[in-house]
Amino acid sequence: MASFLPRIAPSWTRRLGATSRLRDLLSACQSTRLTSTRSWPPPARPQPLEVRHGKLLTLSGAGYRAGYRNIHIPTVLLPPVLFTGLLVGLWIWKCIMMVVFQNKIIYMPSLPPTSRREQISNWASMCGGVEWAEETTVAADGTKLTMAMTTVPLPRGRRPAARAPEKPPTEHAYVLYFQGNASSIPPRLPDLSWVLRAVSDSKAYDLAPMRLTFVCLSYRGYWTSRGRPSEPGLRLDAEAGIQWIAEKHEQVFGKDGTIRPILLLWGQSIGSGVATNLAATGRISSRMPISGLLLETPFVSIREMLETLYPQKWLPYKYLWPFLRNHLDSWGNLGIIAQAYRDSGRTAPMVHILEAGRDELVPKEQGEELYKRCVELGLPFEKEAVPTAYHQQAIARGDGKKLAAHAILKLIKKARDNN
């Protein structure tokens, strides 16, 4: 027995040592709550953060390494922070929408919804016997445009029977009309017809046997005209309208020049910017010079209207003007017109402004700015107002129709005298 123990002692000693090491390993696993060999070794604890020299650093032992910073917002401040962020996000979104969709905001050819389907015949019974015809032309970029046209006699004065026998006419007057930013041409024809009747029935001027051709241009995207409206497109449309008048004049009266054309531009609201654009920078035939401008409820520019519609300092939409693609700057156009006629030595066209006394969109200060601009530039100028009219009612009221008719006759008389 004594001889056997020495032989088995080393074997049991090795087994007891292995069991002790296994017990120690199990104890370590329980202390770290180890459940799977894949989570060994246990994850390191997150290190504290510190900002040093403008960089986020994570403390790791005795050194630092780059890391990410967790922003902590107290619970009491969370609602106002979220609300402020929502307001800022909505403001940025609306600013982007105003810049991207500014053409749709400025030009509204589909209001009211029936405006694209209107026909002249639907309004003929309210035109007081003035007969309108539908014409078409094509802009320089190939866009097909629609127009409404009529011709009326000019007045014979107070005592036509006492005059000498009439001589053949030496001039023919034209008015090219540019509408506002909404609706279409046909609904405007009844009011325009009554203006033309007031022109023919007037006794204030003796212009017979002259006649007046009135042309209403429908911008691209409006009524049955093709395309989509924009300021560059409207420039082309206005030039196409004046080119159509020049060709019509040559077709009717020949190219010998015995009948001189007298061309007036009438712009209503946004149309006033289109009219001044055409007079200032439009490609106009030398055979069809512009003799006068009738601006109905005009504004200074789109930039000025931004400040008018959004005057509050905390609504900075008015500061979006550097992103404008539409300007319709009548103030600047008047300067170009005056300089062009001054350089050529010709008489500048007369500017007649017809305001609405209760205009809820365009403040009267803008009319005053245009008046001061004309005085500063030395342009012949006249300004009248329809006392009880709102922005869209300048010629819808009886006194407005009379003022518009008087303005047309006065502009024609002045242009004929200058010729």
Q: Are 260 and 171 in contact (CB under 8 A)?
A: yes
With a CB cutoff of 8 Å and minimum separation 6, the contacts of 23 are none
Q: In what order do the strands lie in the sheet with 55-60?
A: 49-52, 55-60, 63-66
Residue with tokens 């003007």: 321
Q: What are the φ/ψ torsions at residue 35 (nearest 5 degrees)?
A: -115, -15
Query: Token pair for residue 376?
Result: 């500063």
pLDDT in tens, 288-332: 899 999 999 999 999 999 888 887 776 777 788 889 999 999 999
Rounded Cα–Cα distance for residues 134 and 147 (Å): 6
Query: Which pLDDT score is estimated for 74?
Result: 82
Query: Token pair for residue 50?
Result: 């510190």
Query: Token pair for residue 263?
Result: 């061309």
Among residues 328, 381, 380, 387, the alpha carbon closest in space to that of 355 is found at 387
Q: Are 282 and 242 in contact (CB under 8 A)?
A: yes
User: What's the CA angle centered on 54, arms 51 and 55, to 5 degrees?
Assistant: 60
Which uninterrupted H or E stretch holds 72?
none
Residue with tokens 């009554």: 194
Which uninterrupted H or E stretch holds 50?
strand 49-52
Instruction: Return the domain boundaries, the chain.
Output: 112-159+169-418
pLDDT in tens, 11-33: 544 444 555 655 665 565 555 44
CATH no. of 112-159+169-418: 3.40.50.1820
What are residue 164's DSSP bridge partners?
none
Q: Are 295 and 330 in contact (CB under 8 A)?
A: yes
- Could you tell me where the DSSP H helices lie in 254-363? 270-281, 302-309, 330-344
> Rounded to two decimals, what is the model's pTM?
0.81
**pLDDT tens for the chain, residues 1 to 419:** 444 444 444 454 444 455 565 566 556 555 544 444 444 555 555 555 454 544 444 444 444 444 556 667 788 888 888 889 898 898 888 889 888 999 999 999 999 999 999 999 999 999 999 999 999 999 999 999 999 999 999 998 876 555 556 678 899 999 999 999 999 999 999 999 999 999 999 998 999 899 999 999 999 999 999 999 999 999 999 999 999 999 999 999 998 888 999 999 999 999 999 999 999 999 888 888 999 999 999 999 999 998 888 877 767 777 888 899 999 999 999 999 999 999 988 889 999 999 999 999 999 999 999 999 999 999 999 999 999 999 999 999 999 999 999 999 999 999 998 87
